[in-house]
Chain A
Amino acid sequence: MDLAQLLNGLAYGALLMILSSGLAMIYGLRGVMNFAHGALYMLGAYLAYEVTQRTSFWAALVLAPLLLAAVGAALELGVFRRLQHRSHIEVGLVMFGAALIIERTIVLIWGDDTLPVKAPSALDGTANVLGTDYPAYRLLIIGVAAVMAVALVLWLKRSRTGLHIRAASHDTETAKILGIDVDRVSLVVVALGAALAGLAGVLAAPYFSVQPGMGQSILIMVLIVVVAGGVGSIGGAMVAALALGLIQTAGNVWIPSVAVLVPYLVAIAVLLWRPSGLAGKRVA
């Protein structure tokens, strides 16, 4: 594997990291896998296409996450909050349905052709990384993900809301008894998680193709990341995302014929080694 391939793995891992940290936070608060997470990512990518056409990619980078935050707030108010006393399987199924609706709506609006999104002209060329020419745009993905990860961790560790999120994702009932308004915390978390999914979608748009299957395929990867990282652990998800991005890229290079199986094999290996995932949080 050469440096360029390594960086590709990092860029892919960075996208997975942005997505899975949101998914892990939502799981912590509401106890449900958000099966619409891939659809939110896809919506972010299509919004990137639309906004880039009309104004610029940079506008999309700001606008799409904001719009997705609103979609996340709607999902929290309309689904997670209303159904919080229902079984997790029921809520999971409803989110699966929400994913289908979002994806179908996207196809109705934008059609099912693959759409091109151009990287911003400033990042169109290559940059020299330790003697290797590498697409500058992909460095942006890595950079944005790194900044996001540091900011997210600092926010969770240092802020009052972050403390409440860490408490509520471990034990919502006790958090409530201690005076935390879990519904309010959850609104913040689901909106933020959706915004992050949108951000990942925008970043991915010029890199991968924007097409109707993109949500489902990334969702599977993100679910693997969250399970391997330790369900509900944000730190575990971040580490697992980067690792899986690199391993997947290595698989594509070294064993292309069976590379699609690599994520599953990694997940099985991790779970055999540590049944509750890398971060090893007890699954309550």
Chain B
Amino acid sequence: MTTLLQLKDVRASYDGALVLDGVSLHVDAGETVGLVGRNGAGKTTTLLSIFGVPQVTGEILVEGKALGKRGYEPAARGVSIVPQEKRIFPNLTVTENILLGGASGRRGRWTVETLFELFPNLARGKDRPGDRLSGGEQQMLAIARGLMADPKVLLLDEPTEGLAPVIIDELIDALKVIQDSGTALVLVEQHVRMVQMLASRFVALGKGRVVAEGATADLQSREVQELIAL
């Protein structure tokens, strides 16, 4: 198995305030890793550090090669993100938002048409501006946009946050299709159920450090539960 993405002793800070204090983790080709931890543990910061949003020290490798400091590089190297706040562009249409996902020039199996097949709701509103979408539609759009660059690993930051149960079921189905296509996932989640359903491994963060990791079956153990207190 090849290691797709590796973080080695990553420290990240915002305006001098240290948020990640030496995080190391890796993602292998095709696997799904759950990233868990309570609010403020540093899950989002871990994902954003790959894109150089906070100030970062330590090593970040994609397929064994170091990532440069430029924020636009990961997308071109096969690492795409679905950010926690979705960050849909309100001034662009649904289709334009999806196309933006291919901005790095990296393209592959997914096209606007096949993404509309995966998310039929988006197809119906393809010319609507990005700010006229429901929370569920925004989430689907952010995922479609991330897939447009045909990532080797897709980073999903709390994709179920604020969604109704029926929409979550739709989302799970879509994520399974993406997994089956061979794309690795990093799934940041508050819901243990989601992680257990989709991931084989988990990494738990607490106060900017990795406090536990293992097989998702262990997420139920009292020891881990206490550490992460989801």
Contact = CB atoms under 8 A, between A and B. Distances in A.
Nearest to B149: A179
A266 to B, nearest CB: 25
Interface residues of B, number: 28
Contacts of A171: 87, 89
Contact of B100 (A167, A173, A181): A167
A177 B75 contact: yes
B71 interface: yes
A178 B145 contact: yes
Given A164-B103, A167-B89, A180-B72, 15 more contacts: A163-B92, A163-B99, A163-B103, A164-B100, A170-B91, A170-B92, A173-B71, A176-B51, A176-B71, A178-B100, A178-B103, A179-B72, A179-B101, A179-B103, A179-B105
B75 A166 contact: no
A163 B48 CA distance: 24
Chain B at the A interface: mostly helix, strand, loop or mixed? loop
A177 B104 contact: no
B96 interface: yes
Contacts, number: 69
Chain A at the B interface: mostly helix, strand, loop or mixed? helix
Contacts of B133: none
A174 interface: yes
Interface in B97-122: 99-106
A119 B171 CA distance: 65
A163 B100 contact: yes
B76 A167 contact: no
Contacts of A179: 72, 74-76, 101-106, 149
A182 interface: yes
Contacts of A170: 89-92
Interface string B27-59: 000000000000000000000100101000000
A176 B89 contact: no
A177 B53 contact: yes
Shortest beta-carbon contacts, A-B, top 10: A179-B104, A179-B75, A176-B71, A174-B87, A179-B103, A180-B103, A177-B51, A181-B72, A179-B72, A176-B72
Contacts of B104: 178-180
Given A163-B96, A164-B103, A177 B71 contact: yes
A34 to B, nearest CB: 21
Interface in B119-159: 145, 149
